[in-house]
Structure 1
Amino acid sequence: MNIISVQRCISILVLLTVIDMHCCQGNADQWRKIHIVYMGDRPHHSGDTSASLVGQHISMLEHVLGSASLAKESLVYSYGRSFNGFAAKLSPPEVDTFSKMERVISVIPNHKLRLHTTHSWEFMDFSPGKIRPQEEGNIVIGFLDSGIWPESESFNDEGMSPPPAKWKGKCHNFTCNNKIIGARYYNSEGLYPATEFKSPRDAIGHGTHTSSTAAGREVDGASFLGLAKGTATGGVPNARIAVYKVCWDMLGCSNADILAAFDDAIADGVDILSMSLGSDDPLPFFDDALAIGAFHAMKRGVLSSVSAGNSGPSPATASNLAPWMLTVAASSMDRKFISQVVLGNGEIYPGIAVNSFKLNGTSFPLVWAGDVANYSGGMGLLSAKNCLPGSLNSHKIAGKIVLCNSVLGDYTGVVMANGLGAIVSFPIPFLIDISLSYPLPATQVKTGDGDAILEYIRTTENPIGTILVGETWKDIMAPYVASFSSRGPNRLNPEILKPDITAPGVDVLAAWSPGASPSGSPFDTRKVKFNVISGTSMSCPHASAVAAYVKALHPNWSPAAIKSAIMTTANVMDPRKNDEHEFAYGAGHVNPLAATNPGLVYNASEADYIHFLCKQGYNTSTLKQVTGESNASCDGVVPGRAWDLNYPTFGVAVEDGQSVNGTFTRTVTNVASTNSTYRVTVQMPSSVNVEVHPQELSFSTVGEKKTFTVKVSGTKMVEQPIQSGTIVWKDGVHVVRSPLVVYTITPNSMTTSPFRPTERIGFGANSINWNMHF
């Protein structure tokens, strides 16, 4: 969750303006912008090949645009390997025409999307490489991200066999090996920033970091410029990597490119998809590119692991809410990076930063940014306090360490004015739980410590101080969910708990692209092989690796079974560390080893999700197109709460002033012993009554299924915070744990939700602000 400099933000805005102007040039095309026309599953007719679908898409465009040549020029992508649809440049009237066509499910604007160590595996008591390399080597993880740096030691293929026979992927403008077995790139706009590579090569560092976190090979002596030195490894170091570059420096990630990548990845033969991407605002499922792609991936046996977002700690901020996705929150590890401030009076204040700059204990003059404003440049006190670009007087701060009282955690003005270092006093205390990297000696301190440093500066004739090089300290509070990690409840389906799980996402060391600076600052000229960053982008690949690990040992398990195994075996989180409880960490902290032997799983098929979508108000004709199944039907299904979806968690959202009342039906499948008996235990606050029937489940064969019901009841509730409980099945060996939460919502907020469709979905008009979770 690096802080991007103001100059960089300005550059992005300027570039996007140029792109917008570029897209709107010419009289005929001035209103045409890229949209995705989504048409559901691929037709099942033998004659409907990818090539024939291209012809159908051009024919549709020709009919609407009125010209064969214009139709071909308008077409950007034809999706036909894994699902049906296309991306094309369309005007508003043309969008409206397509959205009314019977064969079209949705027309989606091509909104821009932004992207949301080794010690992490040790922290989880997991030693990668425990299963046979050939089993792990059969698993392919696909990464939709910013590309990869193939020369990194984390991606060497020494001793690895050729790719599995099932693999159908390709490498475009890229040299693959037996580790990176596929690499494609997508750019629907056809614009490439000067900082970028016209290939799957990573110019940002993000994709390199996520892919090595999940599946990097072992690298001894890895560190960030001497910090966090150790052996770097991914969770499944022998798994294969397939790269789908959909995110570009300064441009972000587009819907059209994401769906093109899904279309290829599913057909190429990936087993797990890892995507550290997400929306700030929920959309109907079939107006959401990630939800669409993940649905078709699920249909073909591929689990999509996605990040929950970096918009916490505010409630109801979690993204990627579709129940067929594994949505991952970010939590801490028992290691944090500290860079201390030492004042001339001997006082020492711990700061949080990944600081590799050595001042060798030498003290330098200290100044407060508010005292050195660049008034002649038209800047005032507020800008100076925040150390914004151009706000500081270079004559007064050159060679000095500057104290910034920054809301943004900014340091840019210090660098631009030739300051020696920066102490950032962050006024929002709950956000000081991640270590940032800066392009100069710098650290961020708590508000109270910043006040003490300011008092020293103001009361001392010649204040001096220094910033010590970073070191690692033990964090005895770990794990807890990071403040930036997005929280529930689920804004689309309050009865389905999101996020699903939490995994390490704070101060994670992993491989990095030398094409990007470690701090993300244009003033940073350092090049590193490994970097320490934070975000749900970092937690997502941890969960992806665990999913791949489970898949390697249980190749025939469905995406829902793998997801259930991860959730029901998760380690219990301490609710005292996060007031939001399950809305922060879902089912708990991922436990890789336990996930391979869950005992029971809550399985779900495409038919289960179809029933769920019927309950959400989607109709039969839409779902027949989405699924490609002629027998898909919503007949007899009354829209309402999704209490009967076979999900591993339980949620009861109660309208203010109403009584607690909910009944769930669940089916568990035995995946362990041939003869076993499970007994249920329930924990819940006394104000809520929970009845489970039956209370005992006996199995005689592997694969046998048993169904039970959960009835939740209680008195009227008003403005009640989350009440957490659990439903646990035990057989003496396995512990199958599911959270149960009860909470209040605003009256009628569910029935009036704009995200619950009543008929076939039209084109999505909502603006999407995608996060490269970073």
Structure 2
Amino acid sequence: MGALPKHDHYYSPSSHYPSLLQEVVDDSQLGSAGLLIRSYKRSFNGFAAKLTGDEARKISSRNDVVSVFPSKKLQLQTTRSWDFLGLPQPTMIKNPTGVASDVVVGIIDSGIWPELPSFDDDGFGPPPVKWKGVCKGGTNFTCNNKIIGARYYYSQSARDDQGHGTHTASTAVGNVVKDASFYGLASGVARGGFPSARIAVYQACGGFGCSSADILAAFDDAIADGVDVISVSIATLEAVDIDADTVAIGGFHAARRGILTVHSAGNSGPRSATTCSVAPWLLSVAASTIDRKFESKVVLGNGKIVTGISVNAFADNGPESPLVHRDQSLGCVGVCCLDSIVVKNKIVISASVVPFPAAGVDFQTLDAVISYQNSNKNPVAKLQKSDTVRDPGAPLVASFSSRGPNSIISGILKPNVSAPGVDILAGFSPVASLTDDADDKRQYSFNVLSGTSMSCPHVTGVVAYLKTLHPDWSPSALKSAILTTATPMHPGNVQDPSITYASTEFAYGSGQLNPVKATNPGLVYETSAQDDVNLLCNLGYTSDRLRTVTGDKNSSCIARADPTAIKDFNYPSITTDVSGTRASFKISFLRTVTNVGTAKSTYTSQVVPTMGRLKIEVTPPVLSFGSLNEKKSFTVTVSGGNFPAKGGFLASAALNWSDGAHSVRSPIVIYTKE
């Protein structure tokens, strides 16, 4: 039902029942109050209720209702990484003043295991004065000065019995823990991106996923509690309209309160147009590899040795075992050779933890294994214990990571940025199954997981660090700093001839996360409230619906909806779909930057072509600033054409603004649909 009425800080749910529900409920004997599941009343206006299809349609016809949609199940998206990103340990322990940070990270996930060393509060003072949250973690759950808030929705405790929430929280802002490993594998120091940050945990997920109703309840509380950044490693299987997307709805209201939401892009790759995180106010994160991988040698019965990707806690498995390939459901007890995705002849799979000795091999190696198997009546092999080895080809986009283009808002480039999401070692719930296999009884306080769930908290940790350095930066400024300083990736790392739209930008967004450069971006693209209004109007919102969403009675949509006008949304990237003008096009994009670098500075534009034939002009080509926070506008005009008559096609480039000390990069992507 949109924003809260401005005169009510804590909105009464009386408008939800009995009056509103009684108007639509067909069975008066059931009682409208009994139908209400949740009432959202702290940070935005809305409710979840048990309704029939007809009742839902009646409510959706009301002018004061923005949208009605069924509650769906969303899925959890499944340390060396911080060194790989260039963020050294000493800078992460304390903030520049030398004291523990008062930045609070809200983790919406499966809960947390508070007793792990990753969440010890040694060195932390009491919670910041600004904190309005509570510790309601349920039975046998105690907060401390590191975990300062806890709430549960899915079960009766915020304690994590899945492991996912513990893993994401420790990856983002977990303490420095020495001698961490997975049964001796990947041994070393485990740490989050910004260990000095506090944690507020919102348990909205369990073994069967996360319901829309619970996710919205977590957003409602987190915003009102006063978190500084929200991390959501949760995704739908496909993109939905933003007024039916619980993360987009919660993230919108969070952004209007100055809180940035970091969101997993999804694990539906490598197909194009699969990113489920589409709203411009969300920071959507893809997953990529780091320069470490886990390998095991597989010794075949004929003496041939092949190498596979593997994480296992097994020593050499003694006697040779039957060789089974491809299908672990066959119950192999020795080696299971799993098919992998090959990108430019490179393996980009994750070394999953499984309950038996196993290794994943590329297709060429698999052919050699199958050849041996077919030529022997009793094929056997032995899997050696996994080793940690260096991967010089990193970063590569993970095959599972969802790609763009944005299937809902074509003028907004998604995902936004890539971060480590393959073979990530982090804290884990000691009561959770390591593999979700009923026969696997192992339990451990660390685990190796892969997914955009793992890449999302890497960005969250950096946002928490930036928020400490720049407490006055808006959510869009924080997002812009990360996007415009990301390290561009070579297209060859993500191209696959079988995948349409296989460009760097549609896989990585702006590129690979660069935490150090993000602290001093020079210029930022800030989004105003009017930008949001214009975008919603051009998506087809009426003035009445817009006012309900924003809570601003002065908002209005004065022109007819024009989706193509979204191109001028003040975003750090530039993209548009020109499917209807393949022969020839000329499009201008308006952008405004804010100076956050050096007071007196001059930036010169440079266009770097990467793919396709585009003519790009920047007007003016030079921007001169005389003070901090000064704003300057410019226009980017892109022209081209002669795209193929059929099939998807794209052309890309990049715009760099440089003053000699800063380089502010914006990807430019022009594409056609199939």
Aligning the two structures, in what range does the TM-score lie when normalised by the shorter sequence? over 0.9
Following TM superposition, by how much is the alpha carbon of 1:413 offset from its aligned partner in structure 2, in angstroms? 3.3
- Aligned counterpart, 2:536: 613
Q: How much has 1:496 moved relative to structure 2?
A: 1.4
Matched-pair contact (CA < 8 Å) for 2:150–2:202:
yes
Question: Are the equivalent residues in 2 in contact too, given 1:403–1:454 (CA < 8 A)?
Answer: no
TM-score, normalized by length of structure 2? 0.94
Match of 1:542 in 2: 458
1:146 aligns to 2:110 (yes or no): yes
* C-alpha distance 700-428 of structure 1, shift in aligned 2 (>3 A): closer
Report Cα offsets for 1:157-196 as digits up to 9, x if no partner. Answer: 1111111111111122121011111111113xxxx6xxxx
Distance in 1 (CA, whole Å) between partners of 2:173 and 2:74 is: 25
Deviates more, 1:259-268 or 1:173-182: 173-182
Q: How far is 1:55 from its partner? A: 5.2
Unaligned 5+ runs, structure 1:
1-38, 193-197, 365-399, 747-774
The 5 A counterparts of 1:52-451 are 52-54=12-14, 56-65=16-25, 67=28, 70-116=31-77, 118-127=79-88, 128-129=92-93, 131-132=95-96, 137-172=101-136, 173=138, 174-187=141-154, 198-249=156-207, 251-359=208-316, 362-364=318-320, 400-406=321-327, 411-414=328-331, 419-426=332-339, 428-430=341-343, 433-451=349-367
SS at structure 2 position matched to 1:109: coil
Q: Distance in 2 between the 1:686 and 1:93 partners?
A: 51
Task: Give ranges in structure 2 of 5+ residues lacking alignment.
Answer: 496-501
Shift of 1:77: 0.9
Query: How many Å separate the matches in 2 of 1:700 and 1:489?
Result: 38
Work out whether residues 78 and 451 of structure 2, in 8 Å CA contact, stay in contact via their aligned partners in 1.
no
Per-residue deviation, 1:606: 2.2
Q: Find the counterpart in structure 2 of residue 36 from structure 1.
A: none
Give the residue type in structure 1 aligned to 2:555.
Answer: A
The letter of the residue matching 2:73 is K
SS at match of 1:614: helix
Letter in 1 for 2:149: G
C-alpha separation in 2, matches of 1:636 and 1:616:
12
2:563 aligns with: 640
Rounded to whole Å, the distance in 1 between the matches of 2:379 and 2:637 is 66
CA-CA distance at 1:104 after TM superposition:
0.9
Instruction: For residue 517 of structure 1, report the CA deviation from its aligned partner.
Output: 1.8
CA distance in 1, matches of 2:80, 2:401: 20
CA distance, structure 2, for counterparts of residue 571 and residue 225 of structure 1: 33
The answer to whether the 8 A contact 2:240-2:276 is kept is no
Which secondary structure state, in structure 2, belongs to the residue aligned with residue 106 of structure 1?
coil
The CA deviation at 1:134 is 6.3
Question: Is contact 2:95-2:101 (8 Å) kept?
Answer: no
Offset, 1:285: 1.2
Q: Which amino acid aligns with 1:481?
A: V
2:451 partner amino acid: G
Q: 1:297 and 1:136, CA in 2 relative to 1: closer, same or farther beyond 3 A?
A: farther
Compared CA separation, residues 644 and 432, structure 1 to 2 (3 A): closer
Determine if contact 1:689/1:712 at 8 Å carries over to the other structure.
yes
1:647-686 Cα distance to aligned partner (Å, 9 max, x none): 0000132115342321100000001111000010012257
RMSD: 1.9
Distance in 2 (CA, whole Å) between partners of 1:153 and 1:326 is 29
Describe the shift of the 1:102–1:117 C-alpha distance in structure 2 as closer, same or farther (beyond 3 A): closer
- Contact kept? 1:566, 1:592, Cα under 8 Å: yes
Amino acid at match of 1:125: G
1:573/1:135 CA distance change after superposition, 3 Å: farther
Is residue 724 of structure 1 aligned with residue 652 of structure 2?
yes
- TM-superposition CA deviations, 1:478-510 (whole Å, max 9, x none): 011111100001111222111000000000000
Q: What is the aligned partner in structure 2 of residue 45 from structure 1?
A: 7
1:622 aligns with 2:579: no
CA positional deviation for 1:64: 2.6
Rate the CA distance shift 1:253–1:462 in 2: closer, same or farther, 3 A: closer
1:560–1:603 Cα contact (<8 Å) kept: yes
Match of 1:708 in 2: 634
- In structure 1, C-alpha distance between the alignment counterparts of 2:227 and 2:528, rounded to whole Å: 19
In the aligned structure 1, how far is the partner of 2:442 from the partner of 2:97?
A: 36
Query: CA distance change for structure 1 residues 643 and 425 in 2, over 3 Å: closer, same or farther?
Result: closer
1:41 to 1:112, Cα distance in 2 relative to 1, 3 A? same
Counterpart position of 2:595: 670
Q: Which has the larger radius of gyration?
A: 1
| Paired residues of 1:142 and 1:271 also in contact (CA < 8 A) | yes
- Report if aligned partners of 1:610, 1:623 keep a CA contact under 8 Å in 2: yes
In structure 2, C-alpha distance between the alignment counterparts of 1:485 and 1:413, rounded to whole Å = 28
For each residue in 1:533-564, what CA deviation from the matched residue of structure 2 results, as whole angstroms up to 9, or x when unmatched? 10000000001111111111101110000000
For the 8 Å contact 2:323–2:373, the answer to whether it is kept is: no
Please tell me whether the aligned partners of residues 425 and 447 of structure 1 are also in contact (alpha carbons under 8 angstroms): no
Counterpart secondary structure, 1:351 = strand
Which of 575, 579, 584 is the matching residue for 1:659?
Answer: 584
Deviates more, 1:437-446 or 1:267-276: 437-446
Q: Secondary structure at the match of 1:350?
A: strand
Q: For 2:324, give the aligned amino acid.
A: L
Residues 58 and 75 in structure 1, CA contact (< 8 A), matched pair in contact too: no
Q: Indicate conservation of the 8 Å contact 2:81/2:290, yes or no.
A: yes
Which amino acid is 1:63 matched to?
E
> What is the rounded CA distance, in whole Å, between the counterparts of 1:524 and 1:637 in structure 2?
59
Range with bigger deviation, 64-73 or 735-744: 64-73
CA positional deviation for 1:473: 1.2
Q: Aligned equivalents of 1:164 and 1:564: distance in 2?
A: 27
Equivalent in the alignment of 2:392: 476
Compare 157-166 and 65-74 and name the one that shifted more. 65-74
* Bigger relative contact order, structure 1 or 2 (CA pairs below 8 A, ≥6 apart): 1
Instruction: Provide the aligned length of Structure 1 versus Structure 2.
Output: 652
Residue 758 of structure 1 corresponds to none
Are the counterparts in 1 of residues 77 and 264 from structure 2 also a CA contact under 8 Å? Answer: yes
Q: 1:493 to 1:135 in 2, by over 3 A?
A: farther
8 Å contact from structure 1 (residues 599, 672) kept in 2:
yes
In structure 1, the partner of 2:499 is none
Percent of residue pairs identical: 48
Indicate if the aligned counterparts of 2:100 and 2:124 stay in contact, CA closer than 8 A.
Answer: no
Answer whether contact 1:57 1:85 (CA < 8 A) is retained. Answer: no
Q: Which residue identity lines up with residue 715 of structure 1 in the other structure?
A: G
- Which is further off, 424-433 or 631-640? 424-433
Q: In 2, are the aligned partners of 1:358 and 1:441 still within 8 Å (CA)? A: no
Deviations 1:538-592 (A, max 9, x none): 0000011111111111011100000000000111212121122110001010111
- Letter of the structure 2 residue corresponding to residue 180 of structure 1: I
